[in-house]
Amino acid sequence: ALAPRCGWVLPGLEQRLAVPAVVSAATVRPYAAAAKTAKKGAQRTRQEKAEDKPPPRRRPLMTKPVDDVYLTWLYRRPSYDLEKAVEMLKKFQELDFTHPKQFVYINVFLDMALQKKKKVDSFSSSVTLPHRFTDEVNKVLVFTENEQEAETAREHGAAVVGGVELIKWILEDEVQADFYVAVPAIIPKLIPLRNKLKRKYPSTRRNSLGSDIPKMLQFFRECHEYAVEDENIIKTRIARLDMPTEHIIANLKTIIHDICTFKPSTFDPIVRRLVIRSSTSEGLLLNLDGILPQVEKVEEEGKNAVDEDQEKLVQESVST
């Protein structure tokens, strides 16, 4: 260390202190490349072992607990008959001292698959429930340019009545309604509203296009609307908890039967799971027996009737 200051250097010290201009990684750490390749090889072997390792076996879920306190994830979720489930919801309300007139909801989980990679498109629909559970009235707009039809619409409770002059106000969101109905004469002039109204655009398939204005107004002012959410779920209210049990059941079956019409009966039922709950209670899984429409049984009975008729014809031909 004192050599530079004193002006002399020990023999060989200059060579030992000299540093090469370029230092390669191989000369400094000759084992680095080998370590990297070994590490990559170890990672590959671990991945191969993980792939070869069989998946862990899950314990089959048990059916019924034997005690009042149990781990829910170890047991299958119990399913209830519809009438029993409604009675349970009413009992929950009494025990929890919650509002007796709270709404009853259903969550419908759908099987939208068709043949190959096709599936049922998301849809919305409106139905008339056999037992109304709210005093709310939908706001209905009627498209017509006939003064007599316009007067009839106003008499039967239309919120807005007009012709092509309404197009501008609807496009600018100045006029809005829950439902839009129209007479056939004006429908060619409403094409600019097709993209704006989308599913609410008047059409014969939705029964919102026709000449019977009083009938359309009566339906859409009191109907119940539902729609598919997240591609395969319908969440909608169906009744109030203080209604009679048979009224709640009738409303639920009306909505379920309407949902089933959106998938051909030749495929699996569109309703996969059905959960009922109130505003403050837990959800109860329902047993679908007796809720879904009996399409297959009707077809089988029809086939049996045809077979019986054929047998009778054969017997008559043999006897003659």
Topology adopted by domain 135-224? Rossmann fold (3.40.50)
Contact 138, 221 (CB under 8 A): yes
259: nearest Cα among 86, 105, 111, 80:
111
For the record, the structure tokens of 302 come out as: 């029809």
Query: CA-CA distance, 296 to 269, in Å (whole number)?
Result: 10
Tens of pLDDT, residues 114-151:
988 899 999 999 999 999 999 999 999 999 999 999 99
* 287 C-beta neighbours (distance < 10 Å), count: 14
- Kindly state the average pLDDT of the residues 33-60: 62
Q: If you compute the radius of gyration of the chain from its CA atoms, what whole number of angstroms results?
A: 36
Sign of CA dihedral 25, 30, 35, 41: positive
Torsional sign, CA 213, 217, 220, 222: negative
13 has pLDDT over 70: no
- Residue type, position 166, single letter: L
Task: Return the SS3 of 286.
Answer: strand
89 neighbors 240 (Cβ within 8 angstroms): no
pLDDT digits (tens, 9 = 90+) for 99-109: 999 999 999 99
Quick one: fold of 78-111+232-292? Ribulose 1,5 Bisphosphate Carboxylase/Oxygenase (3.30.190)
How far is it, in rounded angstroms, from Cα 146 to Cα 156? 16
Q: Where in the chain is the domain with CATH 3.40.50.790?
A: 135-224
Which residues of the chain form CATH 3.30.190.20?
A: 78-111+232-292
| Contact in structure between 75 and 65 (CB atoms under 8 Å) | yes
What confidence tier does 64 reach under pLDDT thresholds 50, 70, 90?
confident
Cα–Cα–Cα angle for 37, 43, 45, rounded to 5 degrees: 105
pTM score, whole prediction: 0.71
pLDDT at 67 over 50: yes
In this predicted model, which residue has the larger pLDDT, 4 or 60?
60
